[in-house]
Chain A
């Protein structure tokens, strides 16, 4: 198996069985429905226009391409339905390097050259984003091929294996045809997805968010810079936006909706499920820079009489985010906050231990109207991970988690 660069192949002469030159290579294409990596088709520039040639017609690649049928037998190229053209769609374009977790620009494409039944087979091996591809393209045709090859060997390559390449396609129809998805991207940490998305152009961001699952999209969206967040949600259909917002942490979702204009917010709210909508409207009514505006309404609360076993059972059924369960709250029959049990204590306790004996003293809480500075000070003073928020009647209404406080403080740095 040997390696061959895409740009070395482009422009190579093509010879028909009679030995006459019938054109030059213009494009290499893969048909992603069949195989994501194998070169399926060549587009050859001939005197009678660009023609599409199946790659299986190629007998050898050395020197020029030798083929086993006459040029006139191939169809004229019209459009590129279902084909992914390497020179047009990949070369010089931006792709997502899923392994390196960033957006990079393609300088060249490395193709792997193999033989099967004495016929050459070409597969896309990796994309080159480093200096080697750049120098090759700069000097190709200017410096003799042999000298260029010797020079290029001295330059380190920066390949990204084809399996780690996520393509960005803004046209939804083409995305389906070319089977472009973001499966690999979706497996990254939401914060990394967010960083990548911030580096893309608006249309490309939209394209990525349209293909991600609701919950992945929601988690990633939470991590995106608020300005970009707003732009993304505005670009999505309101029902799709609603699906994503429903999956977001309620407090993050409320902050986001508060930034949108009113029409858009109400459109998204209408598309949401009734329960989530109610919660969201409630959160939206709170002032943003108070404890109520920052709190999360998903938290773990059990009755005062519960045991450690009951708490673990409740945890199994809990659907909220993991950051809110580091403390379990005890409430009485009126919903009044009665105690706080750190998760660590719960884990160490035997199942029948009453939770009331595990509470952390003193019980720290803040009022829904407390200012940002007040509750941030509480976090600092008592080294809290979570802080319960109560209303005028000491009823538990929500929980502020330390990650909310960290983003708040970072915004002020």
Chain B
């Protein structure tokens, strides 16, 4: 009886519970939410339409090695390395643009071009070098994975093998393209460093001045300063990026005609990378450096830079960001290396091929991951130090790669009217010479035990 009255009552005047799905207020809310989601969906889609190889490369550039190196630079030297970022950005834009242009004009990867123009022997040694350097980077990425998950109390002896298997499967099962989008969205974590920079209340004026004004000469003589300078350059203008970017441009099918859009994509990517780098250094300077923590020895130390933003939760934020960055780069680096080496030396390559069709390609890829993860499993490893050292090696390797790129991009029969302009050549040669001088100076200080 009671039931029926209620029923009648309801049918006469529709009164919904506030929790009902159809309550007018809820309806309004749902419509608003739908609109919001729709708008965001188009925005996200738009974002992916614009985001190209340049931006992706730049994002991978801020990998675990990058985060550790910039953090250490800020913690150890405060603002003393900020001045390097403007020249580095210019050099990075020039170098990346050259690669993108070569990819668009020739339709071939960098290692293909080196092989075709410089012959087998040079290519062979180049590829061995790239293999060793990139292996260092892969080790660094697994160090990042280990470090970030250790913040959650997970042992590296479990996390590293599991992640290595995940990375291997993502690519071998051909799922890389769909996973890439998740990585990209997640890499917006870098924005947290920009906020952290603000919250840390850094000495803004000092930071800005230090960005445009080279430091006093005495700074160069500080122990470790040259080492860190090379590391910062090496992590930003890493050799693998040039190979990776050029292949991505080729794979995307960018031609001379659509090249302008890629140019913008590349420039935007480079600027984004270095803005993030600037904020990481500033955030670390304002937190770690000013409080006297000059040495970052593990992820826990580096996470402190996010404390002004996230308080006690800093480590969660940092760990998630570092984990994403490491996993992203760990899935790209071994793959890109395997492609580069196989293309240069003429082995079959491609994730579309079966294991038996491209054995060298798959073995290289597998060994890079297994060995890279294996190194990290050695007990008592100074993870951050390894990461930074791999970036210094990158820096030392930049000049030879640049020399080959410059020789190639200035070949008229290869590039036609798209050869380098004089400003480009000047900037790129200057970068090459400066990096060579820095590397020699660093070796010299090593020998003299400074």
Contact = CB atoms under 8 A, between A and B. Distances in A.
Interface of A: 91-93, 102, 104-105, 107, 129, 134, 137-138, 201-204, 227-228, 231, 234-235
A107 B107 contact: no
10 contacts: A91-B119, A92-B120, A93-B116, A107-B346, A129-B346, A134-B346, A137-B120, A138-B124, A203-B107, A204-B107
Contact of A201 (B107, B119, B120, B346): B107
Q: Which 4 A-B pairs have the closest CB atoms?
A: A201-B107, A105-B346, A202-B107, A137-B120
Nearest to A104: B346
Interface in B96-126: 106-108, 115-116, 119-121, 124
Interface string B15-36: 0000000000000000000000
A201 B106 CA distance: 7
A228 B253 contact: yes
B107 A134 contact: no
Give the bracket for the number of chain B residues in contact with chain A: 10 to 19
Contacts of A91: 119
A227 B252 CA distance: 9
B316 interface: no
Contact of A231 (B106, B116, B255, B348): B255
A231 B108 contact: no
Contacts of A105: 115, 346
B121 to A, nearest CB: 6
A37 B13 CA distance: 96
B255 A92 contact: no
B345 interface: yes
A341 B121 CA distance: 65
Given A91-B119, A104-B346, A201-B250, 17 more contacts: A92-B116, A102-B348, A107-B120, A107-B346, A129-B346, A134-B124, A134-B345, A137-B119, A137-B120, A138-B121, A201-B108, A202-B253, A202-B255, A203-B106, A227-B253, A228-B253, A234-B255
Nearest to A235: B255
A92 B119 contact: yes
A262 to B, nearest CB: 16
B122 to A, nearest CB: 10
Contact of B120 (A102, A138, A203): A138
Contacts of B121: 137-138
A201 B343 CA distance: 13
B52 to A, nearest CB: 14
A89 to B, nearest CB: 11
B131 to A, nearest CB: 15
Interface of B: 106-108, 115-116, 119-121, 124, 250, 253, 255, 345-346, 348
A4 to B, nearest CB: 18
Nearest to B109: A201
Contacts of A104: 346
Contacts of B348: 102
A92 B115 contact: yes
B404 to A, nearest CB: 14
A227 B115 CA distance: 27
A107 B121 CA distance: 11
A135 B4 CA distance: 92
A129 B108 CA distance: 19
Nearest to B120: A137
Nearest to B255: A202
A137 B346 CA distance: 14
Contacts of A107: 120, 346
A231 B124 contact: no
Contacts of B253: 202, 227-228, 231
Contacts of B120: 92, 107, 134, 137-138
B107, B119, B120, B255: residue with the most chain A Cβ atoms closer than 10 Å:
B120
Contacts of B108: 201
A92 B348 CA distance: 15
A202 B249 CA distance: 12
Contacts of B115: 92, 105
Contacts of A231: 253, 255
A296 B401 CA distance: 52
A14 to B, nearest CB: 22
Contacts of A93: 116
A245 B346 CA distance: 34
A228 B253 CA distance: 8
B25 to A, nearest CB: 37
Nearest to A195: B352
Contacts of A234: 255
Nearest to A201: B107
A137 B118 CA distance: 13
A122 B120 CA distance: 24
Nearest to A204: B107
A102 B357 CA distance: 11
A104, A105, A227: residue with the most chain B Cβ atoms closer than 10 Å:
A105
Contacts of A102: 348
Contacts of A129: 346
Contacts of A235: 255
A134 B342 CA distance: 13
A129, A134, A235: residue with the most chain B Cβ atoms closer than 10 Å:
A134
B108, B250, B346: residue with the most chain A Cβ atoms closer than 10 Å:
B346
A363 to B, nearest CB: 41
Nearest to B350: A199
A91 B346 CA distance: 12
Contacts of A138: 120-121, 124
A56 B255 CA distance: 46
Contacts of A204: 107
A1 B108 CA distance: 39
B30 to A, nearest CB: 28
Nearest to B115: A92
Nearest to B124: A138
A228 B108 CA distance: 15
A191 to B, nearest CB: 14
Nearest to A142: B121
Nearest to A133: B120
Nearest to B106: A201
A234 B257 CA distance: 11
B134 to A, nearest CB: 21
A211 B55 CA distance: 38
Contacts of A228: 253
A80 to B, nearest CB: 13
B41 to A, nearest CB: 20
A93 B348 CA distance: 15
Contacts of B119: 91-92, 137
Contacts of B124: 134, 138
A105 B360 CA distance: 15
A192 B54 CA distance: 33
B400 to A, nearest CB: 19
Contacts of A203: 106-107
Nearest to A206: B107
